[in-house]
Amino acid sequence: MANVEQSDSSSKPRKKGFISSILSTLFFSLLISIVIECIGITFFWTELGDSHSEEMLNVEFSYLEQDFVNSFILSEPVVFAENIITNTYQFIAVKTGLIEIVNGTVNDESSTVYKYINSVGVYVKAIINIILVFLVRLVILTLSIPIFILAAIVGCVDGLVRRDIRRFGAGRESSFLYYHSKAWIKPLLILSWLIYLSVPFTIHPNAVFIPMAFLFGLSISITFGSFKKYL
Confidence of residue 93 (pLDDT cuts 50, 70, 90): confident
Q: What pLDDT, on the 0 to 100 scale, is given for residue 95?
A: 81
| Domain boundaries along the sequence of the chain | 19-143, 144-231
pLDDT one-digit tens code per residue, 46-90: 888 888 989 999 999 999 888 887 777 777 888 888 898 989 888
User: Where is average pLDDT lowest: 4-13, 72-81, 194-203?
Assistant: 4-13
HSE on the CB side for 224, CA within 13 Å?
A: 18
| Whole-angstrom distance, CA of residue 65 vs CA of residue 24 | 28
Mean pLDDT of 145-169: 86
The percentage of the chain sitting over the pLDDT mark of 90, rounded to a whole number, equals 24
